[in-house]
Amino acid sequence: MGHRLPSGAVNPDSARVRARDRHVHAIRSDTDLVSAVVRTASPDAPIPACPGWDVRRLVTHLGAVHRWATSALVHGRPPDSDAAAGPPADDELAVWIVDGAAALIDAVQAADPEADTWHPFPLEQRAWVWGRRQAIETAVHRWDAQHAVGDPSPIDAQLAGEGIHEYVEMGLPRVLQREQVGAPSTSLHVHCTDVDGEWLLWGDGGDYRMLPIHDKGDAALRGPAADLLLVLMGRLDRSVLDIVGDPAAAAAWLDLPGW
């Protein structure tokens, strides 16, 4: 007979707990890399991936997001307006960004991934969402910061695959709604070549549809998960990917505003 956990206990071997631990590790390591950029780069150094931003603004944004997410997770409700108070002087930014991430990590680790929470995303109101969302947010902005001063280290492939899923599930519908455009009439297959991850995107009378399945589309984007994520997030040129099928069908998706 298997061992039964006490009521309310968290199974340390559950898939959600393992994912939480990976996300915590990613938040910590990527924030440390952002802090290293702050210590060595000018705060006025521009961020090519975010036009109009510099290192100071990127770090201010990321640190504020960490603090906002921590408040939401700890209190289970929309944060107060002062939950993400502004950063200190430039010479304290490197420590400030790490301190905010440390508090976020403590909150993520303390929460049962399946516990009820509040978040603003169109997903189940469970604590696991915060760990994944913040790990992806931190990884992409770490890449932005490193790209501003040299060659960025790659985003972890498994995390990038999660980022692609999050984007096609949540991000792209928000782009279409924000830009008030319909989904293309063509279909697009997105296929990771280094980790498991495939999605089919298509338009249905202008409405967006997506399924995480292997299926043939009018066009396909194939490549490592990190490259796919960075192309979809507007960080890399589409030429780094293998585009199969109808080039016009692929372009209809990749030319959407906000990509």
**Whole-number pLDDT of residue 13:** 61
- Domain ranges for the chain: 15-149, 157-254
Contact 85, 67 (CB under 8 A): yes
Confidence of residue 136 (pLDDT cuts 50, 70, 90): very high
| 101 to 35, 81, 134, 230: CA distances (angstroms) | 11, 19, 10, 23
Mean pLDDT of the chain: 93
Give CATH superfamily name and number for 15-149.
Answer: dinb family like domain (1.20.120.450)
Tokens linked to 126: 């469970």
Question: Given this model, what pLDDT does residue 5 score?
Answer: 38
pLDDT given at position 86: 75
**Residue 88 gets which letter from DSSP?**
-
Give residue-wise pLDDT tens across range 88-120. Answer: 899 999 999 999 999 999 999 999 999 999 999
DSSP class of residue 139 equals: H
* Count of other CB atoms within 10 angstroms of residue 15: 10
Name the superfamily (CATH) of residues 157-254.
SCP2 sterol-binding domain (3.30.1050.10)
- The larger pLDDT score, comparing residue 196 to residue 85, is at 196
pLDDT at 9: 52
Report the relative pairing of strands 219-223 and 187-192 from DSSP bridges.
parallel
Residue 246 has pLDDT above 60, yes or no: yes
Q: What is the pLDDT of residue 139?
A: 98
- Whether residue 199 contacts residue 168, with contact meaning beta carbons closer than 8 Å, is answered with yes
Measured between alpha carbons, how far is 144 from 136 in angstroms, rounded to an integer? 12
Per-residue pLDDT, 10: 57
Q: Are 43 and 97 in contact (CB under 8 A)?
A: no
**pLDDT computed for residue 164 by the predictor:** 98
Q: pTM for this one?
A: 0.92
> Burial code of 114-126, b = ≥16 C-beta within 10 A, e = fewer?
eeebebeeeeeeb
Tens digit of pLDDT for each residue in 1-50? 343 434 445 566 699 999 999 999 999 999 999 999 999 999 999 999 99
The tokens for 43 are: 């705060």
Tell me the two tokens of residue 112: 């049962």
Higher model confidence: residue 83 or residue 31?
31
